[in-house]
Amino acid sequence: MRISVIGCGYLGATHAASMAELGHEVVGVEVDAAKRARLAAGEVPFFEPGLPELLAKHVASGRLRFTDSYAEAAAFADLHFVCVGTPQLPSSLGADTTYVEAAVRSLAAHLTPGGSGSGGPTYVVGKSTVPVGTAAAMAGLLETLSPEGTDVELVWNPEFLREGFAVQDTLEPDRVVLGVASERAEAAMREFYAPMAQRGTPFVVTDYATAELVKVSANAFLATKISFVNAVGEVCDAVGADVVALADAIGHDARIGRKFLNAGVGFGGGCLPKDIRAFQHRAGELGVEEAMSFLSQVDTINQRQRQRVTQIAKELLGSEVSGRRIAVWGAAFKPDSDDVRDSPALDVAGRLHLRGADVRVYDPEATETARVRFPTLTYAASAIEAAEGADLVLHLTEWKEFRTVDIDAVTRVVAGRRLLDGRNLLDLDAWRAAGWQARGLGRR
């Protein structure tokens, strides 16, 4: 099928390349000229394993191309995927849906009664994470703004991508959610996603509002699970218990599960923090703010983890941070990504820097993106270089490289053998055997 993907950032570029891999012809609409030029050259402007090869393959094959023209997209495709961002509003906790609305408005103006020439209906498919009610509003816009006689219908098809696994999650999703208003829309989407249906991927077909709520509810649940184990970890610290063993024990309960029960410095990125805040905000607008009020505490616990790590760092240094050198291993909010949005690692690094510490940051992939957002920090080219002369080493992003680092090599270059594992993934016994004062969060 011929499709367009509107907005070619993280979500859009991944979706465009993956749909080309499934055999569809794809045109990506991207208004940022620099980003569009890189994509057209087969280059991914961010780090995501597996995506550069997929993008380059299908740009070269001609199955995937990029434009800034909505008219070109409307003339080419009958399925248009809206993949633009919905950042947090600067004035509130709500999500900014102006990019979604702008995309729908721009596309609607160029739709025609005959579609792209196929003579069939046109479908506009929302994938962006939006407050509930947005889809109905966008459906109304399409009806109002599309030229008379245009047969166009909205579908809401939320994404569930994990950074670092985005290609896999797009090509082999664990479910496909379709918010539709008609049987024909459902049929069209099932045809489009036929390879997934053939593999037995579950399809959940529902209304617009439920489809919108699925995504934010999933993220709210995951955020709650993380903050829960972090809160328990704080209790473990107070009584000398071990939160890792505790998480292993309760994770054996099939009703709970072990995933996302890793205590540490907390979650970040462009989704979970933004989405739980937007969910609270929207609940308030709907008059059911008390139903989602617990998310405020989830957010508070998550933010407190950063302060907690900062405080423990001060304790390990004898309460004197100013003038001390601190190595920070990690800048991305999670491994296998160069995304530093709302990164706990950089938040802690920035807090310590403001207290007068000489902070040296190293990340395998996110150094350049971190440098843009935190230009006053010092960046190293390796974990060992970051640790040179350090009085304290902080492990704050769980890259495999840090779990397998040569402890003896680190020991030789530091000024003080102090380690804080903010992700509870290092072998503290091995570090202690090398003469280190090593601590985790909620660990013995």
Q: What is the DSSP string of 35-100?
A: HHHHHHTT--SS--TTHHHHHHHHHHHTSEEEES-HHHHHHH-SEEEE----PBPTTSSSB--HHH
In the numeric block, which tokens belong to residue 392? 């304290």
Separation of alpha carbons 145 and 126, rounded Å: 17
Residue 152: what are its φ and ψ, rounded to 5°?
-130, 145
| Catalytic positions, written as ranges | 271
Give the CA distances from residue 158 to residues 126, 175, 215, 313, 424, in Å, rounded to whole numbers and listed in that order.
Answer: 7, 10, 6, 40, 32
**Which long-range contacts does 39-46 make (Cβ < 8 Å, 24+ apart)?**
39/8, 39/13, 39/66, 40/65, 40/66, 44/13, 45/13, 46/10, 46/338, 46/339, 46/369
d(CA 185, CA 383): 52
What one-character DSSP code corresponds to residue 147? Answer: P
Sequence-distant (6+) residues with CB within 8 A of 35 are 8, 9, 45
